[in-house]
C-alpha cells in the first residue's frame, strides 16, 4: 500500500512538472512577444536601426535558450523609410497617421497645399479626366480614387503616376476601408510622385483640398542580418529547420510605429521557445532556427539565405515557417511545397488524431512568406499561419499591438510540429 501511494505521488509530481513546464513555456513565449512589439524596437524597421536591435536581442535569447551555436548572417538591401515629418490635413482637419492615412512604401516625400480631383467611378471617362487635369484649374492637384477601382483601369492610373505622361498631377490618393494597412514589400525604390492611402471616412467625396508635410529617407545598402541558432542532434547528415521573420514595418513619422505583435513577434517567439525545448530534449537530427530579417521587404533575408545556406538545402528533411501563429482560429491555414507532400499527409494524420486544430486549411503555394524561396528550390516545407482570427484583421496596421495579442494557437502549433519531428 505504501509503495502504491509513493507511485501515485510520483505520477502526480510528474504531471505537475509537465503542467509547470508548459506554463513556463507560455510565459517565456509571451515575454518575447511583448518585448519585440515594444516601442524600444520602433516597429522593428530600418530608419533608426530598430530591426537590428531586435536581431541582437534574439541572438541573446537563443543563447540563453541553451542552443549550441548562434550565427548572425549579414546582408544588404535598399529600402525607403519615413522617419521624419508626417502630417496630413483635409480641408483644415488634421488626420492621424497610420489610422486615417498611410503611404505606399515607395512614395517620395511631399510638402505643400493641393487641390483634390475626385475620379467619378460611376461615370468613368478617361478622356474627360485627362482633359480636366491638363486645365489650369487642377494644376498640381492630387487625384483621389477608390483603391480597388484603379485595378479596372490600371493603364490610365499608370499614366497618372508618370511625370512625363501627366506633369500637372502632383500625386495620388487611393481610398480604402478601415483598418488601413501599410506595406514594405516594394520599398526598394522611390517612384516619381507621392502615393497615399486614406480611409473613406477621413477623405470624403466632397473634400476640396489637402495639406501635406511628409519626409522620406531612402537607405542605400542598408546592413541587416539573419539570426541563426543551431541545436545539435544525434545525427548530422540531415537537419530540420524552423523559420520566422522578426522584421516588421517600422515607423510612419517620428511618433507612429507598427508593433507587429501578431506579425510576426508571434512566430519569432515560437522558434525561440522551440529552440529552448530541443536544447533540453536532444533531437535525432540537427535543428536550425532561423529568424529572418527583410521578410516584409519582399523576402530579402530568406532569399539571401536560400542562396547562401549554412548547410546544403538538400540536407533539410523538413522546414517549418511560422508566420502570424498567435490567434484564435480553430482552423489552421497552411501552404506546402511539392516536395513536402508526404510530410503533409503526416501533419493531417497527427492533427486528426490529437485534435490540435479543428482542421488544416491548405492554400495554394505563394510568395507570401519565408518558406517560398525554399519551396522554389525543392525543399520539403510547410507554412503555418493562423489567419482569419480576431488578431489577423489587424496585421499590417497600427492596431497589431501587445494589448491585442492572442495566444490560443501557440500551444497546438508547438505540439503539432514537435509531434511531427518525432514521427517523421
- Write the pLDDT tens digit of every residue in 283-340: 999 999 999 999 999 999 999 999 999 999 999 999 999 999 999 999 999 999 999 9
**Bridge partner residues of 71 (DSSP):** 228
Query: Would you tell me which CATH number, out of the four given (3.50.30, 2.30.30, 3.30.70, 2.60.40), belongs to the domain 85-214?
Result: 3.50.30
pLDDT band at 22, cuts 50/70/90? low
Mean per-residue pLDDT over the chain, rounded: 94
pLDDT of residue 23: 67
What does the block give as the cell for 396? 499590417
Query: pLDDT of 366-412, one tens digit each?
Result: 999 999 999 999 999 999 999 999 999 999 999 999 999 999 999 99
| Burial 256-278, CB ≥16 within 10 A → b, else e | bbbbbbbbbbbbbbbbbbbbbbb
Q: Phi and psi at residue 21, in whole multiples of 5°?
A: -60, -45
Is the pLDDT at 8 greater than 50? The verdict is no
pTM: predicted TM-score of the whole model, two decimal places: 0.93
Q: What is the pLDDT of residue 25?
A: 86
Question: Per-residue pLDDT for 157 more than 50?
Answer: yes
DSSP 8-class letter at 97: B
Q: Quick one: pLDDT band at residue 228, thresholds 50, 70, 90?
A: very high
Region 140-166 average pLDDT: 96
Residue 345 main-chain phi, psi, to 5 deg = -60, -40
Q: Domain 32-80+220-423 is of which CATH architecture?
A: 3-Layer(aba) Sandwich (3.40)
Q: Is 318 within 8 Å of 339 (Cβ atoms)? A: no
Residue 298: the pLDDT is 97
Q: What is the pLDDT of residues 388-401, one digit of tens each?
A: 999 999 999 999 99
Cross-sheet strand order for the sheet of 69-81: 69-81, 217-231, 285-292, 235-245, 316-322, 381-385, 331-336, 359-362
H or E stretch at 35: helix 2-36
pLDDT-derived band at 19 (thresholds 50, 70, 90) equals very low
**Residue 139: what pLDDT?**
94
Spell out the residues 6+ positions from residue 334 whose beta carbon is closer than 8 angstroms to its own.
Answer: 344, 347, 360, 361, 362, 363, 382, 383, 384, 385
Mean pLDDT score, 263-278: 98
pLDDT band at 421 (very low <50, low <70, confident <90, very high): very high
Task: Assess whether pLDDT exceeds 60 at residue 18.
Answer: no
C-alpha dist (Å) from residue 275 to 70, 292, 396: 11, 15, 27
Instruction: Name the CA radius of gyration of the chain, rounded.
Output: 24
**51-76 mean pLDDT:** 98
Q: Do domains 32-80+220-423 and 85-214 have the same CATH topology?
A: no
Which one, of 270, 301, 274, 289, lies nearest residue 370 by Cα?
Answer: 301
Domain residue extents for the chain = 32-80+220-423, 85-214
pLDDT band at 15 (very low <50, low <70, confident <90, very high): very low
* Contact in structure between 326 and 410 (CB atoms under 8 Å): yes
Is residue 24 pLDDT above 90, yes or no? no
Residue 268 confidence (pLDDT) above 70: yes
Amino acid at each position: 500500500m505504501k509503495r502504491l501511494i509513493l507511485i501515485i505521488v510520483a505520477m502526480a509530481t510528474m504531471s505537475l512538472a509537465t503542467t509547470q513546464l508548459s506554463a513556463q513555456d507560455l510565459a517565456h513565449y509571451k515575454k518575447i512577444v511583448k518585448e519585440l512589439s515594444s516601442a524600444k524596437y520602433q516597429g522593428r524597421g530600418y530608419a533608426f536601426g530598430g530591426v537590428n536591435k531586435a536581431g541582437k536581442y534574439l541572438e541573446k535569447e537563443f543563447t540563453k535558450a541553451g542552443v549550441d551555436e548562434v550565427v548572425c548572417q549579414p546582408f544588404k538591401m535598399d529600402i525607403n523609410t519615413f522617419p521624419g515629418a508626417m502630417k496630413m490635413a483635409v480641408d483644415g482637419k488634421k488626420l492621424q497617421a497610420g489610422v486615417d492615412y498611410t503611404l505606399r512604401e515607395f512614395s517620395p516625400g511631399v510638402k505643400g497645399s493641393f487641390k483634390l480631383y475626385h475620379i467619378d467611378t460611376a461615370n468613368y471617362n478617361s478622356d474627360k479626366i485627362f482633359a480636366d487635369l491638363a486645365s489650369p484649374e487642377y494644376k498640381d492637384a492630387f487625384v483621389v480614387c477608390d483603391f480597388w477601382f484603379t485595378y479596372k483601369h490600371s493603364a490610365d492610373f499608370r499614366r497618372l503616376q508618370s511625370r512625363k505622361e501627366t506633369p500637372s498631377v502632383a500625386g495620388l490618393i487611393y481610398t480604402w476601408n478601415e483598418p488601413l494597412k501599410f506595406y514594405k514589400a516594394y520599398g526598394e525604390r522611390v517612384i516619381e510622385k507621392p502615393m497615399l492611402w486614406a480611409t473613406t471616412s477621413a477623405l470624403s467625396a466632397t473634400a476640396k483640398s489637402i495639406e501635406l508635410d511628409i519626409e522620406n529617407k531612402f537607405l542605400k545598402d542598408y546592413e541587416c542580418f539573419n539570426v541563426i541558432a543551431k541545436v545539435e542532434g544525434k545525427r548530422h547528415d540531415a537537419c530540420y529547420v524552423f523559420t520566422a521573420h522578426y522584421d516588421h514595418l517600422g515607423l510612419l513619422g517620428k511618433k507612429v510605429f507598427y508593433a507587429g505583435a501578431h506579425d510576426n513577434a508571434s512566430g519569432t517567439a515560437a522558434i525561440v521557445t522551440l529552440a529552448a525545448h530541443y536544447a533540453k530534449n536532444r533531437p535525432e537530427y540537427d535543428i536550425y532556427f532561423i529568424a529572418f530579417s527583410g521578410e516584409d521587404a519582399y523576402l530579402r533575408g530568406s532569399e539571401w539565405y536560400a542562396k547562401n545556406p549554412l548547410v546544403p538545402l538538400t540536407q533539410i528533411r523538413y522546414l517549418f515557417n511560422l508566420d502570424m501563429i498567435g490567434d484564435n482560429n480553430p482552423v489552421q491555414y497552411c501552404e506546402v511545397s511539392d516536395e513536402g507532400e508526404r510530410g503533409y499527409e503526416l501533419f493531417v494524420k497527427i492533427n486528426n488524431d490529437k485534435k490540435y486544430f479543428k482542421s488544416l486549411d491548405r492554400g495554394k503555394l505563394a510568395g507570401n512568406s519565408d518558406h517560398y524561396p525554399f519551396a522554389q528550390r525543392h525543399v520539403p516545407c510547410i507554412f503555418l499561419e493562423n489567419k482569419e482570427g480576431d488578431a489577423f484583421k489587424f496585421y499590417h496596421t497600427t492596431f497589431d499591438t501587445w494589448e491585442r495579442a492572442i495566444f490560443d494557437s501557440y500551444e497546438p502549433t508547438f505540439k503539432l510540429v514537435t509531434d511531427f519531428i518525432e514521427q517523421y
